[in-house]
Amino acid sequence: MRTLGAVELEDVARGAAVLGTGGGGDPYLGTLAALRSLDQYGPPRVIEVAELDDDAMVALPFLVGSPVPFIEKFPLGQELIDAFHALDRFLDRKLTAVMAAEIGGANSVVPLIVGSRLGIPIVDADCMGRAYPEVQLVTLTLHGISATPFAMADEHGNQLVFETIDNFWAERLARAAVMEFGAIATGMAYPINGKQVKQAAIHGSLSYAQRIGKGLREAAATKHDPIAAVVEETAGFVLFRGKIVDVQRRTQHGWALGEARLAGVDGDLGASLTVRFQNENLVAIRDGQVIATVPDLIAIIDADSGHAITTERLRYGHRAVVLGIPCPPAWRTPAGIDLGGPRHFGYDIDYLPVETLVKTLTGAGAPIR
Amino acid sequence: MRTLGAVELEDVARGAAVLGTGGGGDPYLGTLAALRSLDQYGPPRVIEVAELDDDAMVALPFLVGSPVPFIEKFPLGQELIDAFHALDRFLDRKLTAVMAAEIGGANSVVPLIVGSRLGIPIVDADCMGRAYPEVQLVTLTLHGISATPFAMADEHGNQLVFETIDNFWAERLARAAVMEFGAIATGMAYPINGKQVKQAAIHGSLSYAQRIGKGLREAAATKHDPIAAVVEETAGFVLFRGKIVDVQRRTQHGWALGEARLAGVDGDLGASLTVRFQNENLVAIRDGQVIATVPDLIAIIDADSGHAITTERLRYGHRAVVLGIPCPPAWRTPAGIDLGGPRHFGYDIDYLPVETLVKTLTGAGAPIR
C-alpha cells in the first residue's frame, strides 16, 4: 500500500494521457479534479493486486461518453459518488475497492478521486492497458465477466442501473443513456472479486503510467528529449514527426469521431500521416500504408513537451510526434484481436503488431529514431 | 374483490381499445396474452380502490414504445415479470398489487397478466382514463408523484432500473432505452402506496372499460347499433362518419407518428376529417376546424363492429366513425391541460372541451347522432 501525493498524481495523469491514445477524457481536467479531491479528502491509497483479498469486491468507475462535452461539463464530483452508491445499493455484497477501467486520460485518475472521497483503496491495475471507446472493450470481457450490474449518474441527480445479457448490450444501453445525459456521464460497472482481478485485469497499470509521467517530468526538468523518455519506458516506436494540417471531428452517438492529417517534417519518416479516431486513435496510415492499428497504442504527442494530445484537442498547426506502442499481450490473442482489433471498428485490415509493421515498412529491425 | 373470466377479460380489452384513442398497443394481441395467462395461472383478481390498504404497495406495469413493432414482437410473457422483479428488488417494501397506467389497448390488460401470473390483485383504476404516449402523462404527475424507481425489461433478458429528478427525465431515459430494445419493451414504474392511489388515480377505470366492451358485445349479439352503445356509455359525440382515404405513419423516437385523413359519407358531419397521432390520436380537424383535441379522447371506430381501430392498424378504405369522448376532470384543470393538452404536443391551440367544440361548430346543443 502506498499513497499518492500531488506530484505522483500528476505523473499518473501525464503518463496515462500517453496510454490514452487520444481518449479517456482531458487529463488536465481530470488532474484538477483529482487534486481537489486530494486536498479535501486526503491522498488516495493504492494497493497492489497481490495485496487484494480474493473475496474483495471491486468496481470500475469511469466517465462514459464523448471527451468533447467533458471539457464543458466536467462531471467529476457528486456524479461519481452517486454512480458508486447506485451500484453498491444494487449489489448483495458491499464494494471494498475501485480500479481503473482504462489507464487513459481522465479515466485513469477517476478511480483516485472515488478512492480519495470514499476512503477506499485503488487497485494498481486496469482492464485495457490503454483506452478504448466502448464499455465491452476490456480484458474482463475476454474472461467472460459481465459488465453488469452497471450504474450511471449525471450531474443533475439522475441515476440508472442495468443488467444485460452480454457486454455488447451494456454498451448499447450505456450509449443510449449517455446521449440523453448530454453525451457525458459517470459509470460504475464490472463489479468483480479479488480473484477475478488477479486473473483478468492488467496488473501494475497505475505504476506504468506513473513511470511514463515521471520520465516526462524529469526530461522537462533536465532539458532531455521527452519523446525519448516515453519510447524508452514503453518500448514504443516513433512512427511520424510532423505538423497537424487537417482535423475533421464530429460528436455523434456519444463519441468524438474523425481523423487528423499530419504533414511530415522528417523525410525518413514519410510525407504524410492520417490518424482515424473514435474517441481513441484507431489506425495510423503513413504515405498510404497502415503503420499501426488497434489494439496497439497510437499516441499523438506534442513535439516539445512530450505531453499527449487528446483527440478533442487536436488543432491545425500543432507540431507533433506520433508514437506506436505495443499493447498488452491479452489484446494480441485471437479473442483479443476479435474483440478490440481493427475489424471491430470497421477497418478491413488484418492486425499486425506495430513492431512488425515498422520493420516491414522501413526495412530496419530497430525502433525508428 | 371479483375475478375476471374470459368473457369479462375480453369485454375489458374491447372497451379499453375505445378508451385507448388509437394507442396502448393492439388490444387483440393483449387479449390473447391475457387469455393465455388466465388459462395457465388462473383468473385475475380485481379489487376496488376502497378495498386497498393505505400502506399497500402498488406499481404500474405497461408496454412502452411504439405499437407498430408490438405486432411482431409481442412481449407479454417473461419480460413483464422481469420488469416487476427488477423494480421489486430495488424497493425497500415489497409490491402487493398492480394497477393500469393507462386504460387503453393492450396496456389495459397488461396488469391483468401480471396479476394472474404473480397471484396479486389488480386495482380497478388507472392513471390516465385514456392512453397517452409519454410516461409523465399520468394524473400521478399532477400530484407530484415520481415515476421512479422505474424498471424496464426486454425479451432478451436485459433489465434496467432508473431514478430521475422528475418525470420528464423518466420519459427521456425510457425512450432512449426502448429504442435500443427495438422500439418496444416492458416497464414497471410509479411505485405508490394505497393512500396515493386513493388521492391521485382515476378510480373504476377497469369497470368503465368493461361496461363499454359489454355494450359492444351485446349490441353485436342483438344486432343493435354498436356506435350508439359506446356513445351512451361514454357520453361521447359522433364527430364524423367516413372512409379512410390517406394514412401517413412513421416509427420515430419509439413512437408511431402520423395522420389519417377520412372522406365523409354523412353530409351533416362534413366532407373531410384529419386525425393526427403520436401513438394516440391527438387532434381531429373537420373541414379545416378543430373539432376535438387532447386531453379529450378521439376514437376511430369500425363502422360495422364498433371496435376501435388503433393507429398502427389504420388502412385505406376502412369505413369508420370518429368519436369524441370527454376526458376525466383531472385533465381539464389548468395543470392537466398544461401537462397533457394540445400545446404539449406542439399544437398552438387553446383546449376547449369536445362538447363545447361540437356545440359551436354545429350550432346544436345536443350530441350529434
Indicate the helix (H) or strand (E) that contains A18. helix A6-19
Smallest Cα distance from A33 to chain B, Å = 25
Residue B270 has pLDDT above 50, yes or no: yes
Nearest one of B38, B51, B49, B52 to B3, comparing CA atoms: B38
Residue A69 pLDDT: 65
Residue B56 pLDDT: 97
The Cα A222–Cα A216 span in angstroms is 10
Provide the grid cell at A157: 441527480
**Is B172 an 8 Å CB contact of chain A?**
yes
CB contact under 8 A, A165 and B157: yes
Which range (B19-28, B108-117, B131-140) has the least confidence?
B19-28
Query: What are chain A's domains?
Result: 2-205 (3.40.1610.10), 222-362 (2.40.390.10)
The proportion of chain A whose per-residue pLDDT surpasses 70, expressed as a percent, equals: 95
Give the nearest partner residue to A157 out of B159, B165, B179, using CB atoms: B165
Tell which of B79, B135, B160, B179 to mutate to test the A interface (max A CBs under 10 Å).
B160
Residue B363 has pLDDT above 70, yes or no: no
ipTM for the predicted complex comes to: 0.80
Residue B73 has pLDDT above 50, yes or no: yes
- Partners of A45 in the β-ladder: A3
Tell me the chain B residues in contact with residue A177 when contact means C-beta distances shorter than 8 Å.
173, 176-177
Provide the grid cell at B235: 357520453
Residue B103 has pLDDT above 70, yes or no: yes
The proportion of chain B whose per-residue pLDDT surpasses 90, expressed as a percent, equals: 81
Tell which of B64, B136, B158 to mutate to test the A interface (max A CBs under 10 Å).
B158
Tell me the chain A residues in contact with residue B161 when contact means C-beta distances shorter than 8 Å.
90, 160-162
Q: Kindly report, residue by residue over A74-83, the tens digit of the pLDDT.
A: 657 789 999 9
Residue A367 has pLDDT above 70, yes or no: no
Q: Kindly report, residue by residue over A224-257, the tens digit of the pLDDT.
A: 999 999 999 999 999 999 999 999 988 877 788 8
CB contact under 8 A, A160 and B165: no
Angle, helices A106-118 vs A78-90, to 10°: value is 70
Give the nearest partner residue to A161 out of B161, B164, B177, using CB atoms: B161
Q: Kindly report, residue by residue over B321-350, the tens digit of the pLDDT.
A: 999 999 999 999 999 999 999 999 999 999
Q: Supply the Cα-derived Rg of chain A in whole angstroms.
A: 19
Residue B169 has pLDDT above 60, yes or no: yes
Q: Kindly report, residue by residue over B194-214, the tens digit of the pLDDT.
A: 999 999 999 999 999 999 999
Grade residue B74 by pLDDT with cuts at 50, 70 and 90.
Answer: low
Residue A251 pLDDT: 80
Smallest Cα distance from B255 to chain A, Å = 16
Q: Kindly report, residue by residue over B40-50, the tens digit of the pLDDT.
A: 999 999 999 99
Note whether A161 and A43 are within 8 A (CB): no
CB contact under 8 A, A161 and B160: yes
Tell me the chain B residues in contact with residue A91 when contact means C-beta distances shorter than 8 Å.
none
Grade residue B68 by pLDDT with cuts at 50, 70 and 90.
Answer: low
Residue B84 has pLDDT above 60, yes or no: yes
Percent of residues in chain A assigned helix, strand, coil, to nearest 5: 40, 25, 35
Residue B75 has pLDDT above 60, yes or no: no
CB contact under 8 A, B160 and A176: no
CB contact under 8 A, B172 and A156: no
Residue B148 has pLDDT above 70, yes or no: yes
CB contact under 8 A, B163 and A163: no
Note whether B161 and B168 are within 8 A (CB): no
pTM for the complete prediction? 0.86
Residue B365 pLDDT: 43
Residue A227 pLDDT: 96
Residue A368 has pLDDT above 50, yes or no: no
Residue A68 has pLDDT above 90, yes or no: no
CB contact under 8 A, B172 and A180: yes
Q: Kindly report, residue by residue over A284-329, the tens digit of the pLDDT.
A: 999 999 999 999 999 999 999 999 999 988 999 999 999 999 999 9
CB contact under 8 A, B163 and A159: yes
Residues in B 63-92 with any Cβ partner in A closer than 8 A: 86, 90
Residue A12 has pLDDT above 70, yes or no: yes
Residue B368 pLDDT: 41
Tell me the chain A residues in contact with residue B158 when contact means C-beta distances shorter than 8 Å.
162-165, 169, 173
Residue B364 pLDDT: 47
Residue A369 has pLDDT above 50, yes or no: no
The Cα B64–Cα B254 span in angstroms is 9
Grade residue A266 by pLDDT with cuts at 50, 70 and 90.
Answer: confident
Q: What secondary structure, in 3-state letters, does chain B show?
A: CEECCHHHHHHHHHHHHHHCCCCCCCHHHHHHHHHHHHHHHCCCEEECHHHCCCCCEEEEEEEEECHHHHHHHCCCCHHHHHHHHHHHHHCCCCCCEEECCCCCCHHHHHHHHHHHHHCCCEECEECCCCCCCCCCCCHHHHCCCCCCCEEEECCCCCEEEEECCCHHHHHHHHHHHHHHCCCEEEEEEEEEEHHHHHHHCEECHHHHHHHHHHHHHHHHHHCCCHHHHHHHHHCCEEEEEEEEEEEEEEEECCEEEEEEEEEECCHHHCCEEEEEEECEEEEEEECCEEEEECCCEEEEEECCCCCECCHHHCCCCCEEEEEEECCCHHHHCHHHHHHHCHHHHCCCCCCCCHHHHHHHHHCCCCCCC
Give the nearest partner residue to A164 out of B86, B158, B161, using CB atoms: B158
Mean pLDDT, chain A, as a whole number?
Answer: 92
Q: How large is the average pLDDT for residues B264-268?
A: 87
Could you tell me if residue A81 is left (phi over 0), alpha (psi between -120 and 50 degrees) or otherwise beta?
A: alpha
| Listed ranges A196-210, B172-186, B261-275; the one with the highest mean pLDDT | A196-210
